[in-house]
Amino acid sequence: MTNQSFPRDFVWGAATASYQIEGAVNAGGRGPSIWDTFSHIPGNVALNHTGDVACDHYHRWREDIALMKQLGLGAYRFSIAWPRILPEGTGRVNPDGLRFYSDLVDGLLEAGITPWVTLYHWDLPQPLEDRGGWPSREIVQAFVEYTDVVTRHLGDRVKHWITLNEPHVFTFVGYGGGRHAPGRDDQFEAARASHHALLAHGEAMRVIRANVPGAVAGITLNMSKVYPATPSEPDAQAAAIVDASLNRWFAGPVFGQGYPPELLAFYQSQGEFVKPGDMQTIAAPVDFLGINNYFPIYATADPRQPHGLSTLTPEELAAAGHTLTEMGWPVVPQGLVDLLIDLHETYRPAALYITENGAAFADELSEGAVHDARRVQYLHDHLSALADVTAGGVPLRGYFVWSLLDNFEWGHGYTKRFGIVYMDYETLRRIPKDSYHWYRQTVANNQPAPLAE
Ligand code: IFM
């Protein structure tokens, strides 16, 4: 173990997303999003939960800023709901939507917290889905229009911009697996959608640079280190394919290395979607790469599965001795270290930020407190590993814990709690957990706080 202090200008943050916390889906002129539609179809979300109320952050944001201020946060990463800004997706701008985010930004700046804005964290305006959604190339122009409106309005005060959150999830899970909105299930459509998402990112980078002097802009990808489940050659090949689909399919184009050729050939076998000039647009220089990471993946060759491979299930991981979170994800801090080293060596990004990391556990409120020792342990072990990797020369510049508040965990509804602040969904009371207090000490000392004896 090396010195566990982070560099003096290390950014300490927390992250959330609009649909997961705002609620107030019909307030202030907001239009419907694909997640409103999807979550209201019975059976799509655990217990048929929806984001209708969520944490009611739309009305309680001042209270949430106070929590962040007490935490000593340097930065807050939140996303803007496209349907609050352009209720029809394009065309008419909704001034109340802009005002909400403008007030939020002012409140953050007054509290000494730097806003980090994600433009898209999955709540696509439903009218755009009705016009074809991400698989339709028209979406790129719509995203440019939306980015232009938002950056013109907030760019005087917001300098940190993230174009997209986790394009892998909203394209391959939303259009290719049916488990997320809009619930379509066609892997070729999903690949097309992912190309348009990357193209939208590249075009948006240009708009951000034009509208925001001094912008610091990039993209957030969900990435995992992929290990072969065993040292066998077939498992190594399975791991290489999973790595190409999850990681290289997105990071390759962003950093000018293109799509993995074998995957591109496969996905374009049902119709080409890459047009001349696209790859140059996507490779617009970024100031940083944001990484959302929670766990590594263990891949294995499996001839019974469609692509001849599978990944270890929670049951298999538990049998192999892994500690699992409530999501069934293995806790392996070394996975994050190995991932960062790979990214640094392969793409040489100017800066890396962990834009999400954290864990869901079945927290209980007891006598006004939440003793979430397993989350504290998770954060402690990941941040200790990150301190080492940063000292070793990887340009990691900041860390955003997921999440500030327990919130709507997509298909799991409110059944999975990731927050360092507990939400009593009956009363909407916010109760800081032990992990909140631990994180406050960590932020204050610029190094992972010790674990309680
Ligand atoms: O809650 C999500 C978030 O919206 C995107 N990244 C992963 C988190 C936990 O699943």
Question: What's the mean pLDDT when you consider all of the chain?
Answer: 98
Whether 313 maps to a domain, the answer reads: no
Domain-located, residue 5: no
Question: Considering the domain boundaries, does residue 311 fall inside one?
Answer: no
Instruction: Answer whether residue 452 shows pLDDT above 90.
Output: no
Q: What gap in Å lies between CA 73 and CA 68, rounded to an integer?
A: 6
Domains: count for the chain: 1
pLDDT for residue 401: 99
pLDDT of residue 232: 98
Whole-number Å distance, alpha carbon 364 to ligand 1 midpoint, is 21
Active site residue 203: no
Whether the CB of 295 sits within 6 Å of ligand 1: no
In a domain, 316, yes or no: no
* Mean pLDDT along residues 321-349: 98
Q: What is the pLDDT of residues 254-276, one digit of tens each?
A: 999 999 999 999 999 999 999 99
The reply to whether 138 falls in a domain is yes
In terms of Cβ atoms closer than 10 Å to its own Cβ (0-12, 13-18, 19+), residue 220 is buried
Dist. CA 233 → ligand 1 center (Å): 33
Are 227 and 296 within 8 A, CB to CB? yes
Measured CA to CA in angstroms, residue 242 lies from 25, 91, 233, 324, 359 at distances of 37, 40, 14, 21, 23
CATH, residue 204: 3.20.20.80
Identify the three-state secondary structure at position 448: coil
Looking at residue 448, its pLDDT comes to 98
User: What's the Cα-to-Cα distance from 96 to each of 28, 84, 102, 103, 288, rounded to whole Å?
Assistant: 6, 8, 10, 10, 31
- Residue 197 inside a domain? The answer is yes
**CB of 283 closer than 6 angstroms to any ligand 1 atom:** no
Average pLDDT over residues 15-24: 99
In this prediction, residue 6 carries a pLDDT of: 98
Q: Is residue 320 part of a domain?
A: no
Percent of the chain with pLDDT over 70: 100
Q: What are phi and psi of 414, to 5 degrees?
A: -95, 15
Q: Which residues pair with 120 in a beta bridge?
A: 164
Whether ligand 1 lies within 6 angstroms of the CB of 235 is answered as: no
- Check if 166 has its Cβ closer than 6 Å to any atom of ligand 1: yes
Is residue 233 part of the annotated active site? The answer reads: no
Domain interval for residue 341: 11-295+332-445
Helix (H, G, I), strand (E, B) or coil at 430: strand
46 Cβ neighbours under 8 A, 6+ residues apart = 411, 412, 413, 415
Residues in the chain: 453
Which pLDDT belongs to residue 1?
45
For 106-134, the pLDDT digits (tens) are 999 999 999 999 999 999 999 999 999 99
Instruction: Give the model's pLDDT for residue 306.
Output: 85
pLDDT digits (tens, 9 = 90+) for 158-169: 999 999 999 999
409 Cα: distance to centroid of ligand 1 (angstroms): 7
- The structure's pTM equals 0.98
Kind and range of the H or E run holding 416: none
Pairing of the two strands 297-301 and 309-311 = antiparallel
> What confidence tens digit (pLDDT) does each residue in 272-295 have?
999 999 999 999 999 999 999 999
Q: Is the pLDDT of residue 156 over 50?
A: yes
